[in-house]
Structure 1
């Protein structure tokens, strides 16, 4: 991991090369799986199914699926296993070393076994698993407002989307009680939502900071509920008028 570079907004930029941590087979901690499942059911809804990893590297990652309901007419996907190991949090932030991730998908998203062979359906799950393993692969830390591009140069996650990066944010479509799960006095797990982003949004965040996107997010209704057809919130000028790029 290369450090020292900073964006125009003053935020640090980290560039990751080949991982130095060797492949290590991991098995899931039953306590983590059971507690995450109970936490999700208490604050989100009944867990309809769980995608289990067959062979796991460093941490065993499962994805808990809450099916659409009348109150929450969309799927909710939550990881368990990222918090089996602490992330390498900065000095002074050691109490924020444990996290899990979540994202929501439209009610008509195809999640059947055969459907997930299509990357256009599977990529949000792949993104959850990649980011959940990322801090353990590269001995780093992920937290709210951190952004991660899909490669360097960044590429679209799948043929059916132009999203090529992601930002972590507090969940918008869940109560604040969902944000944290206390496993012990020394281990509190924090839940972060994934917000897929376009290139121009990633660039603006680096230049002007995450806060520069918030008004646009509010206007367009950006949340952890994925909308692959939403417009970019970066306003481009054309003559005297502005427009939102699709």
Structure 2
């Protein structure tokens, strides 16, 4: 398999590359998990860029270690001219398929999911996941990757996950305290899914939200929230100081 770095226009298309044979991987039960991981790595390098480093179980602690069968990776692609951002992508969330709700069709709603976050070019990841100030997106992705299996639920496009109950800010310098899942506008469309059929893997961005925005999503629906975000040119790039599109100012939105 030949891996090529993405050189296409972001969000529109990607340079041609040989896709990993994910369906073959799924058919070999004994080695499906390592092959699936290899395919995810290949998918990232094919459509986005070279993986600089891998954070292993970034949400683990001495008090809550994780076993090998529950292993989560967060892959880091460093900025380059084609994608001038840090890209973090989980690998391992899709090892265990999510249980689809009765009202979901597996042809439309993927049961296997991986998540990503996009950070500004100036964001420092030198301290890794343990950096209290800048490592929280790595840790948060690790937490999100385990969320469906811990809570025995399905996550999909437009779903919101709070950071705790009650929701807590991710870090001291922001009031953002949860995330909504959606396809990224910063990556090639070809990156959105890996494979086909019921075992295909979808890749969604985890977009940080304020408490009021999560309430707006619950009250009026995801389309209203996404419309407000786009009206203010808020994309899926992490900005801890961005405008809160659901907060009232002097009695007005």
Whether TM exceeds 0.5 here: the answer is yes
Measured against aligned partners, the alpha-carbon deviations of 1:80-111 in whole angstroms (never above 9, x if no partner) come to 00011111111343452100000111111111
CA contact (8 A) 1:110 1:116 kept: no
Q: Relative contact order, CA 8 A, sep 6+: which one is greater?
A: 2
Matches within 5 A, 1:228-239: 228-234=240-246, 236-238=248-250
Residue equivalent to 2:238 = 226
Taking the aligned partners of 2:129 and 2:249, their CA distance within structure 1 comes to 39
Residue equivalent to 1:180 = 193
Whether 1:43 and 2:43 are equivalent positions in the alignment is no
Q: Which moved more, 1:198-207 or 1:47-56?
A: 47-56
Which runs of no fewer than 5 residues in structure 2 stay unpaired? 1-31
How far does residue 78 in structure 1 lie from its aligned partner after superposition?
A: 0.5
Taking the aligned partners of 1:224 and 1:129, their CA distance within structure 2 comes to 18
**Structure that is richer in strand per residue:** 1
How far does residue 175 in structure 1 lie from its aligned partner after superposition?
A: 1.8
Q: 1:187 to 1:61 in 2, by over 3 A?
A: same
Residue equivalent to 2:34 = 30
How far does residue 220 in structure 1 lie from its aligned partner after superposition?
A: 2.6
Whether 1:81 and 2:95 are equivalent positions in the alignment is no
Measured against aligned partners, the alpha-carbon deviations of 1:159-194 in whole angstroms (never above 9, x if no partner) come to 121111110011111122111101x65410011100
CA RMSD of aligned residues (A): 2.1
How far does residue 143 in structure 1 lie from its aligned partner after superposition?
A: 0.5
Residue equivalent to 1:107 = 121
Moved segments of 4+, more than 4 Å: none
Residue equivalent to 1:214 = 226
Q: Which of 130, 142, 148 is the equivalent residue of 2:143?
A: 130
CA contact (8 A) 2:98 2:154 kept: yes
